[in-house]
Structure 1
Amino acid sequence: MPNNPPDISDHGYDRPSKSQVKRDMLALQDLGRQLVDLSPDQLKQLPLAEKLFDAVRAAQRITSREGRRRQIHYVGKLMRDADADAIRRQLDIWENGSREQTQAMHRLEALRDLLLRDDDALTQLLDDYPGADVQHLRALIREGRKEARANEALQAGQAPQRKHYRALFQALKSLDADTEQE
């Protein structure tokens, strides 16, 4: 009868180590703690079982430190049955989505400033957005430039006018949103 030595790489175990199980459970508790910090509207958007949703809402209402800690521990226990990957993906979208929106707003602000400085920028914009309302954009740019000249002549302490400046930004924002929907 041949004596096969056990494979050294797995030490004869066919399950995760106790340390790995504990790390996984702590990760689920941390995820549960993140859920407790969310608003009720955000919680409703996540794929949570009713029991888990109720436990998270209960943890949000608890003010006692020890009671809250125990409730978060219970939320972590309930997280074993939840789709943690889907929850993490949604949390990541909420966190990183705001960065993308901020970058888009900065890009539109830079485009607005360029349009107010340079006539050729409108030609480039119309090449990028062929469905844009040319007359409306020209009127906003013209009024925005007048507004800027008037603001330069203001005395100290007078509030600058920003009506057309903001209107041009909103027009660019809606133009960008219309393009994304197509």
Structure 2
Amino acid sequence: MRGRDEDTGEFFSPSRSQNRREALEVLALAEKLVALSEPQLAKLPVPEALLPHIRETKRITAHVAHKRQLAFLAKQMRREDEEALERLRDAMDEKGDAARREVAAMHRVEQWRERLLDDGDAALAELLDEYPHADRQRMRQLVRNTLDERKRNKPPHAFRELYRELRAAILGAAEGDADADENSDSEDGSPERD
């Protein structure tokens, strides 16, 4: 029984249903952690005490034993403070958003590369209008070399280099825009409060 405060009527502790919901959330988080590779785990703020339990859960492949070890991992995770688990959840959510942004950026670069190879100088002029810091001569040279490689059936060295140059130009502009947005937000003209 969890009991009630006689004066306020509030319960002393969470209900069993609430405890179960929280335990199931931690179990789902444990399943996600076990599904990650070692390099992915290394990038997350996983408490050191949990790493051996995660590795042990990955190692066990028998269904019932794996399920039991996963429940044990979740029990160990519930012993950690809530802040550590929240940091872990945030880092994992951020990975999902970061991966989607990375894929979108990669597609944008590939589209520009194909446009440059198909449309030539017209596409280069549009690219330079949108990303003025890109190197015109270098882009033109890489487009010419890529077309030459294709004609001669050579390995795609210039094709890959063109991708790297475009990526640097496009992502460099995106980072510059993000920095400018941060600066404009902080310089809103309002007086600072002490």
Q: Name the SS of the counterpart of 2:36 in structure 1.
A: coil
Do the aligned partners of residues 51 and 162 (structure 1) sit closer, same or farther apart at CA in structure 2, a change above 3 Å counting? Answer: closer
2:165 alignment counterpart:
171
Distance in 2 of aligned mates of 1:161 and 1:68:
47
Per the TM alignment, residue 31 of structure 1 is displaced from its structure 2 partner at its CA by 0.6
The structure with higher relative contact order (CA 8 Å, sep 6+) is 1
Q: State whether structure 2 residue 67 is matched by structure 1 residue 74.
A: no
Do the aligned partners of residues 147 and 41 (structure 1) sit closer, same or farther apart at CA in structure 2, a change above 3 Å counting? Answer: closer
Percentage of pairs with the same residue: 33
Greater alpha carbon shift after TM alignment, 15-24 vs 120-129: 120-129
Q: 1:35 aligns with which of 29, 33, 36?
A: 33
Which runs of no fewer than 5 residues in structure 2 stay unpaired? 1-5, 177-194
Per the TM alignment, residue 23 of structure 1 is displaced from its structure 2 partner at its CA by 1.0
Distance in 1 of aligned mates of 2:20 and 2:42:
29
Which runs of no fewer than 5 residues in structure 1 stay unpaired? 1-5, 152-158
TM-score when normalising by structure 2: 0.71
TM-score when normalising by structure 1: 0.75
Q: Where do residues 106-145 of structure 1 align in structure 2 (5 Å cutoff)? A: 106-116=107-117, 117-145=119-147
When Rg is computed on C-alpha atoms for both structures, the one with the higher figure is 1
Per the TM alignment, residue 114 of structure 1 is displaced from its structure 2 partner at its CA by 1.7
Per the TM alignment, residue 72 of structure 1 is displaced from its structure 2 partner at its CA by 1.0
Q: What CA RMSD, in Å, does the superposition of the two structures yield over aligned residues? A: 2.8
Q: Which amino acid counterpart does residue 133 of structure 2 have in structure 1? A: G
